[in-house]
C-alpha cells in the first residue's frame, strides 16, 4: 500500500531522514514511534506530499506519488496540530471541508459519538483544546478513504472520547483500511497497533509486532521495550 525507498530529507544542515526504507501493507494499524526529532512527522508529511524529499521515492497503491496529486484522495489525515480559522463555526468548517473534498461523508454519526452537537454553532476560537481535537477527528474520519494517517490522535482527549476513538479505529481496521499513527502514549499504542516502526535519527531501528519487540528487548511492556531500544541505539 505504502512503499518508501531510500528516503533522504535535509533541512539546512540537519539531516532528518537518512536513507529510510519502509513498506506498509494493506490493512492493519501501524504505529510510527520515536523521540522528538526522529523524523516521524517529516516521514508522514513526505508521504502526504507536504514535504519534498531530497532523494528517494514513495509510492501509494503501487503508483509513485511524484507529480501525482490525485493519490491524496485515498488518504484521510489528522494533523498533530490543527490550525483552524478561529472565526468559523464548527458546522461551517465541516461544510467547508466537505465542499473541498467533494466526497460522500458520514459526519452526523461522528458528531453524535463525540458529543459535538452543542458546539456546532460555536466559533472555533472559543473551543477548548480537547473539543478542537474532537472536531479534528470528525474531519479526518468522516470520509471513506482506504488510508488513514493520524498524527498524535489522542492529544487532549478525555477518557470517553479516547474509548470512542479506539473503537472507531478497530472498526476501520475491520473494514480493511490501512491506519498509520504516531503517538507518545505507549499504552494507547500497545492497545491498538498491529505493527510498530521505531525511528531514531531518521533511520528505522525496528519494524515488527509487539511480541517480536518484547522478545528482542526481553521486556514485558511496550514502554520498557521502547526505552530498551533507545538505550541500545544511544550506546552504538
C-alpha distances in Å from residue 104, one per residue of 60, 107, 126, 128: 22, 10, 29, 28
Task: Output the CA torsion sign for 66, 68, 74, 76.
Answer: positive
Helix, strand counts (H, E) of the chain? 8, 10
pTM: 0.91
CATH, residue 16: 3.40.50.300
The total of structural domains in the chain comes to 1
Tens-digit pLDDT string for the chain (236 aa): 899 999 999 998 899 999 999 999 889 999 999 888 888 989 999 999 999 999 999 999 888 998 888 888 889 999 987 788 889 999 999 999 999 888 888 899 999 999 999 999 999 999 999 999 999 999 999 999 999 999 999 999 999 999 999 999 999 999 999 999 999 899 999 999 999 999 988 889 899 998 999 889 888 888 888 888 877 655 54
Full domain range(s) for residue 98: 2-235
Burial category of 3 from C-beta neighbours within 10 Å (exposed 0-12, middle 13-18, buried 19 and up): middle
Amino acid at each position: 500500500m505504502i512503499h518508501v525507498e531510500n528516503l533522504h530529507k535535509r533541512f539546512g544542515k540537519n539531516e532528518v531522514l537518512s536513507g529510510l526504507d519502509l513498506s506498509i501493507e494493506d490493512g492493519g494499524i501501524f504505529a510510527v514511534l520515536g523521540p522528538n526529532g526522529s523524523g516521524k512527522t517529516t516521514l508522514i508529511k513526505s508521504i502526504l506530499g507536504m514535504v519534498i524529499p531530497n532523494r528517494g521515492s514513495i509510492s501509494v497503491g503501487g503508483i509513485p506519488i511524484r507529480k501525482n496529486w490525485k493519490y491524496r484522495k485515498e488518504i484521510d489525515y489528522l494533523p498533530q496540530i490543527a490550525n483552524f480559522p478561529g472565526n468559523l463555526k464548527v458546522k461551517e468548517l465541516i461544510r467547508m471541508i466537505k465542499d473541498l473534498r467533494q466526497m460522500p461523508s458520514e459526519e452526523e454519526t461522528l458528531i453524535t459519538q463525540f458529543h459535538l452537537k452543542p458546539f456546532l454553532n460555536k466559533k472555533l476560537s472559543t473551543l477548548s483544546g480537547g473539543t478542537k481535537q474532537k472536531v479534528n477527528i470528525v474531519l479526518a474520519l468522516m470520509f471513506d478513504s482506504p488510508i488513514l494517517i493520524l498524527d498524535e490522535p489522542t492529544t487532549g482527549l478525555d477518557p470517553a472520547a479516547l474509548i470512542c476513538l479506539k473503537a472507531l479505529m478497530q472498526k476501520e481496521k475491520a473494514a480493511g483500511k490501512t491506519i498509520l499513527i504516531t503517538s507518545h502514549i505507549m499504552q494507547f499504542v500497545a492497545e491498538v497497533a498491529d505493527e510498530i516502526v521505531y525511528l531514531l535519527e531518521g533511520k528505522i531501528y525496528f519494524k515488527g509486532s509487539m511480541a517480536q519487540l518484547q522478545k528482542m528487548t526481553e521486556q514485558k511492556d511496550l514502554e520498557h521495550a521502547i526505552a530498551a531500544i533507545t538505550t541500545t541505539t544511544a550506546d552504538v
